[in-house]
Amino acid sequence: DVVMTQTPVSLPVSLGGQASISCRSSQSLVHSNGNTYLHWYLQKPGQSPQLLIYRVSNRFSGVPDRFSGSGSGTDFTLKISRVEPEDLGDYYCLQSTHFPNTFGAGTKLELK
Amino acid sequence: EVQLVESGGGLVQPGRSLKLSCAASGFTFSNYYMAWVRQAPKKGLEWVATISTSGSRTYYPDSVKGRFTISRDNAKSSLYLQMNSLKSEDTATYYCAREGPDYWGQGVMVTVSS
């Protein structure tokens, strides 16, 4: 199985500041069709996960442009600029290029 | 508006069975792959099963293969997860999700304990 290594585990931030979360995969996430199926989710306390970014860098419907995704191959990053209170929670990366789908262990974004 | 509503969770003894349901609305259910994802208490996310649009193809990780069965009824816009031979490590919140996954349900809790 593809192992998704997500860092850091915990990320203290100040409101209005910037946050960066890394996700590294144990093998390339480039599919044979040329697409890279790496996605980012936010799970707010007591809620189900919500899709933020799909296929590395595409913001899902309604996601503010403060969120951006980048990367290629095995190395991916989610950046959050101008952090707001509603951004706090657990962030997960997911790869669906290789069977079985695998998630990163999560990053808790919390107030400094 | 896409809505996914799970039901059927509860407390079950080890070795017993349970069937979860997910009622979908707000989109053409038969056009989408569907999945189940679970989250053990205070833990991360684990993909459990995926089913193709027609139901002819299903996919499972080794942790549940042979014990769990995903199915769907496109006429009823419903997704199911039959869970057999349940173990304590199956205790989790189970989420129904549309392919992506992009939309998730609110989740249903399954507790396996004697």
Q: Each residue of A72-110: pLDDT tens digit?
A: 999 999 999 999 999 999 999 999 999 899 999 999 999
Q: Name the average pLDDT for chain B.
A: 97
Mean pLDDT of B45-57: 97
Nearest by CB to residue A48, choosing from B44, B62, B95, is B95
Number of CB pairs, chain A paired with chain B, less than 8 A apart: 42
Q: Are A104 and A96 in contact (CB under 8 A)?
A: no
* pLDDT more than 90, % of chain A: 99
Q: Do A102 and B95 touch (CB under 8 A)?
A: no
CA neighbours within 13 Å on the CB side: how many for B72?
27
The Cα–Cα gap between B16 and A11 comes to 41
CA neighbours within 13 Å on the CB side: how many for B32?
21
The Cα–Cα gap between B39 and B3 comes to 20
B75 vs chain A: nearest CA distance in angstroms? 26
Mean pLDDT of A40-66: 97
Q: Do A92 and B105 touch (CB under 8 A)?
A: no
B100 pLDDT higher than 90? no
A101 touches chain B (CB under 8 A): yes
Q: What is the predicted pLDDT for the residue at A77?
A: 98
pLDDT interval class at A60 (50, 70, 90)? very high
Q: Do B44 and A103 touch (CB under 8 A)?
A: yes
pLDDT interval class at B23 (50, 70, 90)? very high
DSSP B31: G
A64 pLDDT higher than 90? yes
The Cα–Cα gap between B35 and A92 comes to 17
Q: Name the average pLDDT for chain A.
A: 97
Amino acid symbol at A25? S
Biggest CA-to-CA distance, chain B: 40
B59 vs chain A: nearest CA distance in angstroms? 8
Mean pLDDT of B55-75: 97
Q: Do B106 and A48 touch (CB under 8 A)?
A: yes
Mean pLDDT of A50-79: 98
